[in-house]
Chains A and B, each alone.
Chain A
């Protein structure tokens, strides 16, 4: 079966700086890809290119048999197929939850209000927020807002969902409720591309880990292999940093004592 999404020799610059360098990546329908790497390695940019929020410079990006880097690409149409969820949710603050969710289905897809509303209510129920449909974003916690943002994208019935560090702005106790929603989507067989720093989650949900650094993909492997036996020195280093973070409290504790 051919790939749903295929990056080939994909390059992207911000001014002089090359942020994506010769990206080759294939994603099959139903696959869950988690992209890992240090900050500034280009992983968010990669997702944003797929949604047309950034424009690539060269190479090719194929989605469902279409070349997206074509000048005549109808991004409005593509974006309905590729949902995107952002780090800071970006709900529309002047609309209540239901209006946030229904804006795309009603105005972009011109769907029947009743039918769209039924779907929106079902999705809200699925993320456990049925009772919040008339609330405004500012009345909701970060975790709730992010779940609504996911529903807003899902209600467009996309083929693919992109998650760009969606738990990075959340308080720790809210991370789980959001990750569970994403995990549910993965279980249902949705195609997902996820950028995250939640290693345990990555390990649990991914079919494949893509490790990036300096704008390149250094490694692509199933999570068992990536986490237990990383193939590149850079990936090893990266994973060690994360185990170091886990050990950090003790170190600072001793330091503090010394300072006293």
Chain B
């Protein structure tokens, strides 16, 4: 039994690997886009423009209040109906996770920028820095320390949430696992493998977040 179990894992590995590649590409693309988008979002939120803030608040609340799964269905089934635009399920998942992740990372960035002493902004302005220079050289580098630990936590949530993509037909690592289980009924073994897979991807991120947080709050 034990040897046949390992054997099964061994033969399934190429297939599971393909699924894992899907999971990881969706996750990492979404993380990359979320990060870039989140920094823009966070910076725009600190510009004190009333209408811009209103728009960004609506965006944030929409992604806070509506579950990611609903967004997935909405875009996957809704876009073709309402806009005649059909997005492959892979890109649909990346789009939703990125929009959601950007709002989460964005709030972290906004909070980090907001927590900097006001004098930093004034000192930068008083030597004539332009807006982009002020953010690029003075504010964002200082905010980086405060925003990195919570941002890493958002990353782990994006990776875990990417498993919802199964429901719009992405054949990710979980879907592959389910297919194998259907054939072999080895659910404990396969789910055990999935457990380890997610754990070893996500745990280092949350551990790093904790270490950085401790190191930087005491510095």
Binding site for B on A (CB under 8 A): 51-53, 75-77, 79-80, 83-84, 86, 88, 90-94, 103-104, 107-109, 149, 152-153, 156
A76 touching B117 by the CB < 8 A rule? no
Residue from B120, B126, B137 within 8 A of A83 (CB atoms): B126
Looking across the interface, which residue of chain B has its beta carbon closest to that of A52?
Answer: B125
Asked if A108 and B129 make an inter-chain contact with CB atoms under 8 angstroms apart, the answer reads yes
Closest to B138 in A: A92
Query: CB distance A107 to B125 under 8 Å?
Result: no
Given contacts A103-B137, A107-B133, contact A92 B127 (CB under 8 A): no
CA distance A109 to B138 in the complex (A): 17
Also in contact, A107 and B129, with CB within 8 A (given A90-B120, A92-B120, A93-B142): yes
| B123 interface residue per 8 A CB criterion | yes
Decide if B122 touches A104 in the complex (CB within 8 Å).
Answer: no
Closest to A88 in B: B119
Task: Give chain A nearest CB distance to B140 CB in angstroms.
Answer: 10
- Closest chain B CB from A92 CB (angstroms): 6
The interface residues of chain B, by DSSP majority, are classed as helix
The answer to whether the Cβ of B130 comes within 8 Å of any Cβ in the partner chain is yes
- Write the B10-27 contact mask toward A (1 if CB under 8 angstroms, else 0): 000000000000000000
A152→B126 CA distance, assembly (Å): 10
Q: What class of interface size applies to chain B in its complex with A?
A: 10 to 19
B123 contacts A86, C-beta separation under 8 Å: yes
Nearest CB to that of B120 among chain A residues? A90
* CB nearest neighbor in B for A99: B137
Cβ A104 vs Cβ B125 within 8 A: no
Instruction: Give every chain B residue within 8 A of A76 (Cβ-Cβ).
Output: 128-130
Query: Contact residues of B with A, CB < 8 Å?
Result: 117, 119-120, 122-130, 133, 137-138, 141-142
Quick one: which of B122, B123, B128, B130 has the most chain A CB within 10 A? B128
Residues in B with CB closer than 8 Å to A92 are 120, 123-124, 137-138, 142
A120 and B96 alpha carbons, distance in the complex (Å): 50
A-B contact pairs, 14 of them (CB 8 A): A51-B126, A53-B125, A75-B125, A76-B128, A76-B130, A80-B128, A88-B119, A90-B117, A92-B120, A93-B142, A104-B127, A107-B129, A107-B133, A108-B129
Flag if A156 contacts B128 (CB, 8 Å): yes
Q: Give the residue among A83, A92, A152 with the most B Cβ atoms within 10 A.
A: A92
Min C-beta distance of B132 to chain A, whole Å: 10
CA distance A83 to B117 in the complex (A): 20
**A107 surroundings in chain B (CB, below 8 A):** 129, 133, 137
Q: Is the CB of A86 within 8 A of B119?
A: yes
B142 contacts across to A, CB distance below 8 A: 92-94
Once bound together, how far apart are the Cα atoms of A76 and B142, in whole Å?
A: 22
Q: Is the CB of A156 within 8 A of B122?
A: no
Q: What A residues does B120 contact at CB under 8 A?
A: 90, 92
Q: Counting chain A CB atoms within 10 Å of each CB, which of B122, B127, B137 scores highest?
A: B127
A156 CB contact (under 8 Å) in B127, B130, B138? B127
- Among B122, B130, B137, the residue within 8 A (CB) of A90 is B122
B123 vs chain A, min Cβ distance (A) = 4
CA separation between A90 and B126, bound complex, in Å?
A: 11
- Distance A152 CA – B129 CA, assembled complex (angstroms): 13
Contact A79 B126 (CB under 8 A): yes
Interface centre among A76, A77, A156 (most CB of B within 10 A): A76
Q: Complex formed: what's the CA distance from A94 to B123 in Å?
A: 14
CB distance from A199 to the nearest CB of B (A): 26
